[in-house]
Amino acid sequence: MSLAASAGRGPGTMWSPTHVQVTVLQARGL
């Protein structure tokens, strides 16, 4: 989840929704 957090905190604001989805998927165990 570090990657997702880093991306969300960094210049990855453009794909914020995508980062959220990725975080949810990872949290689900994917």
pLDDT exceeds cutoff 60 at 23: yes
Tell me the angle at which helices 16-28 and 2-9 cross, rounded to the nearest 10 degrees.
170
Name the residue ranges covered by the structural domains of the chain. Answer: 1-30
pLDDT exceeds cutoff 70 at 11: no
Alpha-carbon span 18 to 20, nearest angstrom:
5
pLDDT exceeds cutoff 50 at 1: no
Full-model pTM? 0.36
